[in-house]
Amino acid sequence: MFYWYRYVYRRHQLNRKWESSIKMRKPKAGGLDCTDACAIMVDDDGSDSSSTHANNLNHNTEPLPIELDLLVGKGRFAQVYKAKLKQTSSDQFETVAVKIFPFEEYASWKNEKDIFSNTDLRHENILHFLTAEERKEEKQYWLITAFHPRGNLQEYLTRHVITWEELQTLSSSLANGVAHLHSDWLACGRPKVGLS
């Protein structure tokens, strides 16, 4: 893990040096503008997180049309459900994950919501956040994210034996996500607040 973290971190350092040298060579009007490049989230596997809903969910004032399907996890502060999000333009559904906090766990919900809402944390190797909702009628707080059918990492590794190639891919993905979270810079060179 340390090796992969160092590899990703050094790659980011080299990218920053390269971009700064290009900016020095180009006139200011033609310099690099990476604000759009940093805002784009690429979803390579074409999963549900790339839906048309993902860009507009945070602006809703009314609860989304979500039907809870199956309890997939339970922790000290919340329960996680596989759920169906109804598409507004058709009768089709999109599979999402809903983390439900009881009324008493407002502080835990707000803390996670604030972290997930930070757009600088978006990355292909980090769970895609869609929106957060206060369900006052049910006295619950919801976090809605992309759904991953393989479940959480601990359960997957408990139930499956993986090959060296799968381990390498998994380690690389994990290291890239952790490196992004802890980095003080985005890939385009713009500064961000790193999580510690």
* pLDDT tens per residue across span 81-108: 999 998 877 778 889 999 999 999 999 9
Q: What is the C-alpha end-to-end distance of the chain, expressed in Å? A: 17
- As annotated, the binding site for ATP includes 99
Q: Go through the chain and tell me how many residues it has.
A: 196
Q: What's the pLDDT at 99?
A: 96
Supply the pTM of this predicted model. 0.64
The counts of H helices and E strands in the chain are 5, 5
| Band of residue 17 on the pLDDT scale cut at 50, 70, 90 | low
Domains contained in the chain, CATH given: 47-155 (3.30.200.20)
Percent of the chain with pLDDT over 90: 35
Asked whether 99 and 142 are in contact (CB, 8 A), the reply is: yes
Q: Is residue 74 classed as helix, strand or coil in its secondary structure?
A: strand
* Residue pLDDT, tens place only, 33-87: 333 333 333 333 333 333 334 434 444 568 889 999 999 989 899 999 999 998 8
- As annotated, the binding site includes 99
Asked whether 74 and 80 are in contact (CB, 8 A), the reply is: yes
